[in-house]
Amino acid sequence: MTKIYSTPTCVYCKTLKGYFKKNDIDFEDIDISKDESQLQKMIKDSGQMTVPVVDIDGEIIVGFDKEKIDRLLKIGQ
């Protein structure tokens, strides 16, 4: 399962979620502004406090790294 750790005010988060929707990628949207335990999990897993953070089957990506996301999800291949 693909997870996106995000906040409602993050422009990059909105862009990333739109990209996933455009490519028919199912994902779980985790709003860290509403869930302190998920925020702590994101920080522990990524070592970062910035969003978006993407978890693709345990592979952590900080930010909207399109190249890496495309490779892991086989988008455009």
Can you spell out the DSSP letters for 49-62? -SS-EEEETTEEEE
- The whole-number pLDDT of residue 46 equals 97
Whether residue 48 lies inside any domain: the answer is: yes
CATH code, domain carrying 51? 3.40.30.10
Total domains in the fold of the chain: 1
Whether residue 75 lies inside any domain: the answer is: no
How many other C-beta atoms can be found within 10 angstroms of the C-beta atom of residue 60?
A: 15
Chain segment 7-46, per-residue pLDDT in tens: 999 999 999 999 999 999 999 999 999 999 999 999 999 9
Under 8 Å between Cβ of 42 and 33: no
Task: Name every residue whose Cβ is closer than 8 Å to that of residue 19 and which is 6 or more positions away in sequence.
Answer: 64, 66, 69
- The whole-number pLDDT of residue 39 equals 97
Whether residue 76 lies inside any domain: the answer is: no
The amino acid at 17 = K
pLDDT band at 77 (very low <50, low <70, confident <90, very high): confident
pTM more than 0.75: yes
Q: In terms of residue numbers, what domain contains 11? A: 2-70
Whether residue 19 lies inside any domain: the answer is: yes
